[in-house]
Structure 1
Amino acid sequence: MTPAELRACADGSCTVVVTRGTELPRAAGLRAGPFTVSAVGAEGVDLSSVDASGFTSNLFGQRPDQGGPSTVNELSTSVLAVTGNTAKLRLFPAK
């Protein structure tokens, strides 16, 4: 992903393909992020975030078949697919 494509996630609504080390920008309006992709593989996708106050959020083993999205504050994250060392993620406002 290019930095411009990742900036599209700053509003908390995007679909992106990521690999280990990808940094997703803070969705300030949804009080979440920024997130770093720390792992992508057969076990799923691991995401971590440290907000401005120092609060840490970790989403480990996120998978397409986990039964629904994970939510941090007002941002939901869903893994659509994992192929090798890449994953397709959808970020969207939580309901």
Structure 2
Amino acid sequence: MSKQKLTILQVVPRGGISKRTNQPWEIHTAQCVLEQETSEGKQILVGTINLPNALKDSQPGDYLAEFALQQSMEGKLEPRIVSLVPFGRPTAKPAANASA
């Protein structure tokens, strides 16, 4: 699995009723910027990627995204996000002990 810095700009929900199965469907697509290191240096890619249901409520911001290859409905191997961890957000530090 590979980890890359991913900035989610917006999550766009789409849905409808399948013509084939007559069942409802829903897809959440993240419009994002991906930063990755290559042998030539930093590369920035702009595009969209579908989010798994567990991550569909992700808010815009910077994340460390973990990717894995999965098989699509058409049989193609495609990268899928398997986890998102907030990236570069400050964490609380314990207060310095005032008593000496």
TM-score (norm 1): 0.29
Higher normalized helix content (fraction of residues): 1
Higher normalized strand content (fraction of residues): 2
Please identify the structure whose Cα radius of gyration is greater: 2
TM-score (norm 2): 0.28
